[in-house]
Amino acid sequence: MKIEKICCIGAGYVGGPTMAVIAQKNPKIKVTIVDINSDRIAAWNSPDLSKLPIYEPGLAEIISETRDKNLFFSTDVDTAIDEAEMIFISVNTPTKTYGKGKGQAADLKYIELCARNIAKVATTDKIVVEKSTLPVRTAETIKSILQNSGNGINFHILSNPEFLAEGTAIEDLLSPDRVLIGGESEEAIESLANVYASWVSQNQILRTNLWSSELSKLTANAFLAQRVSSINAISELCEHTEANVDEVAKAIGMDSRIGSKFLKASVGFGGSCFQKDILNLVYISRSYGLNEVADYWEQVIIMNDHQKRRFSDKLIKTLYNTVSGKKISILGWAFKKDTNDTRESAAIYVTDHLLNEQALVSVYDPKVPEQKVYSDLNYLNSRTEQENEDFVTVDKSPYSALKGSHAVAIMTEWDEFKEYDWEKIYSEMKKPAFIFDGRNILNKGKMQDIGFEYYSIGQ
Ligand code: NAD
Ligand code: UGA
């Protein structure tokens, strides 16, 4: 099938950047990204590129090059579906918060709504591409809905999971390690492969069956998260044995069988996907009666929760077992650097724990707006919204966030934190002044020379 028009349902962290790159590399294809969230679409259409809903290095440049030429953002979902030959489903698939599988299974209601909408409005044959991360065998559900409620036209389902990481999304999309396409129809697979072939070499476009493709995505995230939990587990052991986790990571990473990436000990992984995808893997394994498999992967999450908890416990213990009424500064709210995404960020949980102990928390993040900090805390329902406002301030300047505080906790590895005037910060903090570096980004010796009591992970 010749692809002239593409529709992407879901203008989020995946839909936006992925389609922007597809549009840039395929100037002859008209790409329309649709979303039911009209504020989000308005932000994507904003003439002021600093107002785009997503911050990603390099994204604004591609949007300015393609928008209103062959890339369009719209709330008119039905028209975009009907005119496209290929439809990507890139909507959110969060963990279920109700009913069977609550807290573990993926909530597929948005996926099902998309499938029903496609079936309702499509009048010509379509290739439907699963871009969202889905439990293995979801394509069967989508196929059943399309075939049973459609207008008698042909639908081909493909699985094309996305492997980009936030903060490096554009880089990852422009030079992917691989593009994975799972499907049953060879013709449909080749139609999608041709879209990618505009910039990805054929030997990096991997074709598999549907189920391998769906399961590979969950597996990739599980393996990546497992590495972080593994090094974090070792970090705790390092703290008891005078080994240094960064030295251990370097030593093992030089073994080419292990590899050096994804071995940075931290306050715990965050992000919208690692936890949700592993919980989903655990749920699927249990639903097949594979309890040992489920327990094995669940441990990755247990370790991550432990790492976040022990970080805040250590801070409280070091501050003479109480933070009540003390000002504690949180540097970084995003779940990693170079993104404004805060989903499942360790900062949220560490702050919540400190607030339970009646700390006065001040937050600074270079890209996260004040309202997001409050909404993340309110979402936990640990206390009233008024109490969150009374106990938490969000500062526009790092120096005011740090002034007069007893301790600073570094939650995100933003590069600018390394460049601050730490001598000035020290002079303006209460003494003894403590740093809890949840990312091991500051120079321990230098901080100690200034006079800080410096604690890091696994050292
Ligand atoms: P997101 O929440 O940023 O975006 C999803 C968008 O879909 C939202 O704007 C929402 O309004 C829209 N939407 C939901 N239902 C809709 C409907 N019926 N019609 C039209 N629009 C609808 O989510 P995201 O981070 O882009 O993730 C999307 C999927 O991609 C998830 O399955 C996720 O697991 C997967 N994924 C995410 C990343 C990442 O880095 N965020 C990376 C790889 C894969
Ligand atoms: C991750 C995967 O890396 C992507 O391949 C995948 O597409 C995506 O999930 C997804 O499915 O959503 P992302 O969550 O955006 O991407 O970012 P990562 O770079 O993987 O970082 C995840 C978390 O782990 C962050 O909190 C990060 O700080 C932490 N991390 C990562 C560590 O603590 N140590 C490391 O060595 C690496």
Q: Is 272 in the pocket of ligand 1 (CB under 6 A)?
A: yes
Taking CA atoms only, the protein residue closest to ligand 1 atom 3 is 12
Q: Which residues are catalytic?
A: 162, 217, 273
- Give the position, in ligand 1's atom list, of the atom nearest the Cα of 341: 41
pLDDT at residue 92, as a whole number: 96
Give the pLDDT confidence of 431-448 residue by residue, as tens digits.
999 999 999 999 999 999
Asked whether 344 lines ligand 1 (CB < 6 A), one says no
Whether the per-residue pLDDT at 150 is higher than 80: the answer is no
Query: Which of 35, 39, 114 is the best mutation target for the ligand 1 pocket, counting ligand atoms within 8 Å of the beta carbon and taking the most?
Result: 35
CA proximity to 223, closest of 259, 181, 249? 259
How remote is the C-alpha of 211 from its chain's centroid?
23
pLDDT, one tens digit per residue, over 269-312 is 999 999 999 999 999 999 999 999 999 999 999 999 999 999 99
Model-level pTM? 0.96
Question: What pLDDT shows up at residue 133?
Answer: 96
The terminus-to-terminus CA distance of the chain in angstroms comes to 57
**Which of ligand 1's atoms lies nearest the C-alpha of 40?**
9
- C-alpha closest to that of 163 among 189, 200, 127, 191: 200
**Rounded to the nearest 10 degrees, what angle do helices 138-149 and 109-121 cross at?**
30
Task: Give per-residue pLDDT as tens, 174-217.
Answer: 999 999 999 999 999 999 999 999 999 999 999 999 999 999 99
% of residues, the chain, pLDDT over 70: 100
Residue 271 CA to ligand 2 center (angstroms) comes to: 7
> Distance between CA 295 and CA 136 in Å, rounded?
19
Across 125-138, average pLDDT = 96
Pocket perturbation via mutation, ligand 2, pick of 18, 223, 262 by most ligand atoms within 8 A of CB? 262
**Within a 10 A sphere around the Cβ of 228, how many other Cβ atoms?**
21
* Cis peptide, bond prior to residue 432, ω within 30 of zero: yes
pLDDT of residue 223: 98
The protein residue whose alpha carbon is closest to atom 1 in ligand 2 is 165
Atom 34 of ligand 1, residue of closest alpha carbon: 133
CA–centroid distance, residue 57 to ligand 2 (Å):
16
